[in-house]
Chains A and B, each alone.
Chain A
Amino acid sequence: MSAIDAVVIGCSAGGLEALQQVLRLFPAGLGVPVVIVSHTAPDGIYLLPQLLGRICALPVAEAEEGEPVLAGHVYLASPNYHLLIEPDRRFALSTDPKVCNVRPAIDVLFVSAADAFRGRLAGIVLTGANADGARGLRAVAEAGGFGLVQDPLTAFADAMPRAAIASVPTAKVLPLPAIAGEVIALCRP
């Protein structure tokens, strides 16, 4: 049996390139869902699903309210909505106030995912210029899940990975290709 049932990823400044580097290494039929919060502008056309869909072997789409969180799919939080995972492992959206000055916030997704998946979850914090994700990653770790953080030295913006490491000193700190490798290893039956 694999060690995890889901992966959650958070990123901000420089996130597109980092996500591309990680997602392109995931094989088709990855045995878990991958759920991503990437800080984005509230208005305008949301291009991230197409941009990531092009380089990823897994189907990529915006997470829709009420839909089950399915293995082998990559889901993205919609602009201007927090994304949460319900205890029955379906997606929920909210327009609650911004957290860490952003919506969607990584903390909101990670805390709800830690509730839903407990120890069978990997939380990953990538490049970014604020502290969102630090509290969420701690919730993942406290529930017994796996914390992975992009090596700040390799990050476009290092504030977010540094805050995550300070919050969860036991998290594994790795460059992007190794993060993908770690996820694939955790998914191995």
Chain B
Amino acid sequence: MNEAELLDIEVTLFLEALYRRHGYDFRNYAKASIRRRVAGLTSLAGVGSVAELIPRTLRDASFLPEILAQLSVPVTDMFRDAPVFQALRQQVLPILASWPRLKIWQAGCATGEEVYSLAILLEEEGLLERTLIYATDINDLALKKAEDGIFPLAGLDDAQKRHRESGGRRPLAEYGVSGHGYFRLDQRLREHIVFAHHNLVCDGVFCEVHLVLCRNVMIYFDRELQARALRLFHESLGRGGFLCLGTRESLRHFESDSGFAVVDRENRIFRRGEEKAA
């Protein structure tokens, strides 16, 4: 048996232990990325093999936050993919503006850069006052950071550039205060966001929304889990509701029966159609 086959067994056993002990189910995540992350956890925990993670996973409850932080590595930037935000601004928000109250769900918000970008976008289009955004993630440490809304100042210049490219009218710096190398977003934006723990792998529909953003989350899922998440989004969206995925994600494998129509292929924006999801 070669090293890759051994590692495969170890990773499978570790994920099984994590699931049966703590209920977190990463068993249907795409294998190559989860292997990288488990390898990262192995060196972080200072053990020599993946198998050695298993006793701690089973017996040491204080190890769980470390596991989850490492297995759901949060990486986002404010206004990542400016053209997507421009498309939301020009093609989606004008349609959503016809509703008296708006609800938006960002699934997999990580540390929150994107959900605050969205709030700024809504503010600029005059919709924030009547909008409630649900921002969910499985990583509680990331959620806590998102709730704080404090980001390193270092990334602000690039974010500012992308914000402008997305059609942003005011300097980004006006949406918060800076100091000590950090930028804190306005409480006013924060008031329209509800942060909550939600797991796409096992949790269900919790409300009806007009727009779902789930960018670069499903790329980590296997086909089965992707299909589950899509059904969940379909059920959570009212008729005519919008779905926005990551710029390299697609419904290609589901298109015939996903219940979504393409609005903007380039920017991965879809709309819930009349038919039911398969």
Contacts and interface: CB of A to CB of B under 8 A. Distances in A.
Given A93-B219, A118-B4, A143-B3, A84 B33 contact: yes
B52 interface: no
B87 to A, nearest CB: 15
Contacts of A143: 2-4
Given A95-B75, A96-B36, A78 B8 contact: no
A95 B30 contact: no
B220 A115 contact: no
Contact of B33 (A62, A78, A92): A92
A95 to B, nearest CB: 4
Contacts of B82: 43
Contacts of B253: 66
A160 interface: no
A78 B36 contact: no
Interface in B219-253: 219-220, 223, 246, 248-250, 252-253
Interface string A74-103: 000010110011110000111111000000
B30 A43 contact: no
Interface in B51-76: 73, 75-76
B162 A93 contact: no
A: contact size bracket: 20 to 34
Interface in B239-273: 246, 248-250, 252-253
A84 B35 CA distance: 11
A65 interface: yes
Interface string A53-67: 000000000101110
B31 interface: yes
Nearest to A95: B216
B219 A95 contact: yes
A108 interface: yes
Contacts of B7: 115
Contact of B32 (A64, A97, A112): A112
Contact of A84 (B4, B32, B75, B80): B32
A111 interface: yes
Interface centre among A64, A66, A108, A114 (most CB of B within 10 A): A66
B37 interface: yes
Interface in A96-147: 96-97, 108, 111-112, 114-116, 118, 142-143
Contacts of B2: 118, 143
A87 B223 CA distance: 14
Nearest to B218: A65
A115 B35 contact: yes
A86 B219 contact: no
A143 B3 CA distance: 8
A97 B75 CA distance: 6
A115 B248 contact: no
B36 A66 contact: no
A148 B33 CA distance: 25
Contact of A86 (B4, B30, B73, B246): B30
B33 A87 contact: no
Nearest to A98: B75
A108 B36 contact: yes
Given A80-B80, A92-B32, 9 more contacts: A43-B82, A78-B248, A84-B32, A92-B33, A94-B33, A112-B35, A115-B7, A115-B32, A143-B3
Interface of B: 2-4, 7-8, 30-33, 35-37, 73, 75-76, 80, 82, 162, 216, 219-220, 223, 246, 248-250, 252-253
Closest 4 CB pairs of A and B: A84-B32, A112-B32, A95-B216, A92-B30
15 contacts: A65-B219, A65-B249, A65-B250, A66-B252, A80-B80, A81-B219, A85-B32, A94-B219, A94-B220, A96-B75, A97-B75, A108-B36, A115-B7, A115-B35, A142-B3
